[in-house]
Amino acid sequence: MLTIPDLIDLDRYPLDRPGSVAFAELVAQCQAMHREEDCANLTGFIRPDALTALAVEARDLLRNGYQKSQLRTAMFDQGDPDKPEDHPAQRIFREGSLQLASDQIGNTLIRGIYEWQPLTDFLAAVEDRAELYPMADEFQALNIIQQSHGDSLPWHFDVNHFTITLLLQASEAGGDFVFVPDMRNGTEVDFETMQKIFDGDESQIRRPSRNAGTLTIFRGRNAFHAVTPVAGKTPRITAILTYDERPDCVSSPRGNTFVYGPRVEAIYRLRREASESQGT
């Protein structure tokens, strides 16, 4: 089994040497990227010769993925009855993907990367937080998503504050990660900018260039983000690693059912039934 030094290019990204000058320089470099570009993009984070193993592992796991084709708004619902019909919160998009929830990704190479404490510590240092934690949500913590020809991930915000994405396999065309920073502050959403984006205004859209093996750090709770439609016969495969300042950050059963579909809905139903029968 490949170990962390086989997978992550620690010569280039010395996450295993906190306290060293090289580590401090890397953190400072990432913080500068965050300030200037609102996301830190680490190309070649995964060693090229380890990429195949991670992609093969992901493809294998994805055989049990949830084939999603759903219509939703950018706010992960079917529209807001309290808002006018032409409001951007009413705009419906199709999300097409093959998705694995965290509980479907067992003791794997990608799980080893996600749970490697120096990666969490590095992210906390970049984000200038005393401590970060892998998200406690049993379904959202670590995901693998595949988009095939014609699939896309429509615009949205994340539930958690900090997200790392790791591109495991790039598509031949399309599949660009796009985002607009700082569009949500607390519960305040910048719907004016959202309207402009939906009307085709690309002036505020960032499009970092990424290859397979690139690690991207960004603030998905505040950044409005999407993946453009994938084209070609090679699917785009990404691992999504989520973290939060709270050790107990979880999504709601309703939110998880919406994201992960009937399998997760059934898990919640069985638990509800079991606790009801215990209570009687």
What is the contact surface with Fe ion in residues (CB under 5 A)? 158, 220
Asked if 233 contacts 149 with a C-beta cutoff of 8 angstroms, the reply is yes
Identify which of residues 13 and 228 has a Cβ nearer to Fe ion in the complex.
228
In the complex, the smallest distance separating the C-beta of residue 226 from Fe ion, rounded to whole angstroms, is: 8
Q: At 200, which amino acid appears?
A: G
30 vs 74, beta carbon nearer Fe ion: 74
Say which residues have a Cβ less than 8 Å from residue 44's Cβ, sequence separation at least 6.
9, 12, 211, 213, 214
CB of 269 to Fe ion, least distance (A): 26
**Which H helix or E strand runs over 173?**
strand 173-174
User: Nearest residue by C-beta to Fe ion?
Assistant: 158
The minimum distance between CB 196 and Fe ion, in angstroms, equals 20
What the block records as the tokens of 122 is 């590095």
With respect to Fe ion, which residue has the nearer C-beta, 14 or 220? 220
Tokens standing for residue 104: 């479907």
The residue (of 34 and 156) whose beta carbon lies closer to Fe ion is 156
* Exposure b/e, 23-55, CB count within 10 A at least 16 = b: beebbeebeebbeeebbbbbbebbbeebbebbb
Residue at 145: amino acid letter: I
Q: Closer to Fe ion by CB, 104 or 216: give it.
A: 216
Least gap, CB of 89 to Fe ion (angstroms): 17
Instruction: Give the shortest CB-158-to-Fe ion separation in angstroms.
Output: 4
CB 264 to Fe ion: min, Å: 17
Q: At its nearest, how many Å lie between Fe ion and the CB of residue 10?
A: 27
Nearer to Fe ion, 158 or 190 (CB): 158
Task: Output 13 or 218, the one with its CB closest to Fe ion.
Answer: 218
d(CA 217, CA 207): 14
Q: What does the DSSP assignment read for 80-141?
A: -TTS-TTSGGG--EEEEEEEE-GGG--S-HHHHHHT-HHHHHHHHHHTT-S--EE---TTTS
Structure-block tokens of residue 223: 């950044």
- DSSP sequence for 3-43: -HHHHB-TTTS-TT-TTSHHHHHHHHHHHHHHHHHSSEEET
Instruction: Find out whether 229 and 70 touch, Cβ atoms under 8 Å.
Output: no
Nearer to Fe ion among residue 104 and residue 165 (C-beta): 165
Kindly state the smallest distance separating residue 257's Cβ from Fe ion, in Å. Answer: 17
